[in-house]
Structure 1
Amino acid sequence: MQERYIKYYSHHLGADNEMLIFGNWGYPVVVFPTTMRRYYEAKDYRLIESARGHIEGGKVKIYCPDSIDQHSWYASHLPPSERIQNHIYYDQYLNDELIPAIMRECNTTKVAVAGCSFGGFHAANFAFRHPDKVSHLFTMGSAFDIRTFMSGYYDDRVYFNNPPDYLPNANDPHLWQMNIALGTCNADFCKPETERLSKILAEKKINHWLDVRWHGTHDWDIWREMFPEYLNRI
């Protein structure tokens, strides 16, 4: 299984970003790390290993970028207005720099996005904000309401980065074309949030799979089982 490391400068972030890429060819899947973790987390916790067959078979090519959670949602040392603005820079980096580069490299017009835990928020928020660039969304053990990170602060920037708030009013036709799997398990503390997002999608008649078959907790053992199953949807 080919593994490639790259480090590159982001104009939107004003800093370098690092990424691991797995596979020679295949449909691009962007996997976001969990809370304040790094680009190598999916490899270290064997999520990539769980998808080895898909990668070596040339079905998918997996991209694992860094997040900037320590400067945005989890930057408790910063005022809330700066936290949300830093996330907006991250979203601009994804939308204007990273995702277009991946689409060019893979010769596709869209990508799949995925994430476990808080990585699932990043995947879902990007997918719902930019559905013209996303064909598949896979979340595993995730929650999606970020108002708890804002210390009571709220403005339009928070609204448009909080899926439970903006999604009910979203009307981009690409949303109805997306292949969505929302995975959770019986003892996951994020299960109610996943079910809440599913209800919003159902009310909008956006086709999706609320996958609640799993028995376990909020843990990598479950996510390693979910991930290759969801990749089968590509």
Structure 2
Amino acid sequence: MKREYRSWYSDRLQREMNIRVYGHAGTPLLILPTQDSMCDNFENFGMIDTVAPEIEAGKIQLFAVDTVDRETWSNVWGDKGWRAARQEDYYNYLIEEVLPFIRTENGTGRLPIAIGCSLGGLHAAIVFFRRPDLFGGMMSLSGVYDAKFFFDGWEDGTLYQNSPVDFLANLPEDHPYISLYNQKKIVLCVGQGRWEDEGRRTTAIMRDIFAGKGIHAWVDFWGYDVDHDWCWWKKQLRYFLPYVLGEQG
């Protein structure tokens, strides 16, 4: 399997940011790590091995990025307004720096699919639902979609833009993004076992928003034995990957 390590200094984040690229061709996947993790996250927990056959066959090419979660979602003692603004900086880094890099490196012209587990699932939802014109689909496993959960119930206009349960709930039913969403493959999956309470709660909210807005999405609640853990995310990634790649209906 072809592996490459890239980095550059981000003016938006004022720091060096890293990307790991897995594979030589195929549909690009933007990989958003779990909370506080970096671009080696999926590899360290065996997720790259889980989809190695597809990578080696040239069906998919993965682009795994760093996070700044320790300054934003996890920075519980920090100024909330600053934390929200920093998250917006990270969103802009992904949209304005990472996506052009993916387009150049991948070269297929295909739009990337955003994929993440846990807090990475929130990041995937943020970028996809804010800019469906730039993505081919999304898969969020055990995501929590209410940004206020990480901010003790606080929210300002900037954090609102990074809280899918809020900005989607207020999306007009004739908004052009809805037809764009419905041209893409959308997966939200959550278990009902240990450590999934908030994921379960907010995934149910997202399901109801989708139903009310006419947004077509696969929202799947797995069993009460399915915990918030890598062993299940590996199974879910393999299960949903053919769907988001358009290989099944």
TM-score by length of 1: 0.95
The runs of at least 4 aligned residues of structure 1 exceeding 6 Å deviation read: none
1:188-207 CA-to-partner distances (Å, cap 9, x unmatched) read: 32222212212211211111
Going from structure 1 to structure 2, the CA distance change for 1:161 and 1:40 (only over 3 Å counts) comes to same
Show CA shifts across 1:147-181 (max 9, x none): 12224432211211111110123322322222101
Give the alignment of 1:40-189 within 5 angstroms.
Answer: 40-107=40-107, 108-170=109-171, 171=175, 172=177, 173-187=179-193, 188-189=196-197
Structure 2 CA distance for aligned equivalents of residues 179 and 83 of structure 1:
31
**2:199 paired with 1:193:** no
Q: Is the 8 A contact 1:38 1:67 kept in 2?
A: yes
In the TM superposition, residue 65 of structure 1 has moved relative to its aligned partner by: 0.1
The separation in 1 between residues aligned to 2:188 and 2:205, in whole angstroms, is: 11
Partner of 1:221: 231
Q: TM-score under structure 2 normalisation? A: 0.89
State the AA in 1 paired with 2:215: I
Q: In structure 1, give the amino acid aligned to 2:235.
A: E
SS in 2 for 1:218: coil
- Structure 1: runs of 5 or more not aligned: none
Matched residue SS, 2:123: helix
Change (3 A) 1:200 1:10: same
Could you tell me how far apart the structure 1 residues matched to 2:147 and 2:156 are?
13
Q: Distance in 1 between matches of 2:142 and 2:49?
A: 19
2:30 pairs with 1:30 = yes
Q: Distance in 2 between matches of 1:149 and 1:194?
A: 16
Work out whether residues 36 and 70 of structure 1, in 8 Å CA contact, stay in contact via their aligned partners in 2.
yes
State the alpha-carbon separation in 1 of the partners of residues 62 and 205 from structure 2. Answer: 28
Q: For residues 51-80 of structure 1, what are the alpha-carbon distances to aligned partners after superposition, in whole Å with 9 as ceiling and x for unaligned?
A: 111111111001110010011121123200
Amino acid at match of 1:136: G
Structure 2 alignment gaps of length 5 or more: none
**2:113 partner SS:** strand
User: Are residue 20 (structure 1) and residue 26 (structure 2) matched?
Assistant: no
Contact 1:5 / 1:21 at 8 angstroms: preserved in 2? yes
Find the aligned partners of 1:54 and 1:67 in 2 and give their Cα distance: 25
SS at match of 1:226: helix
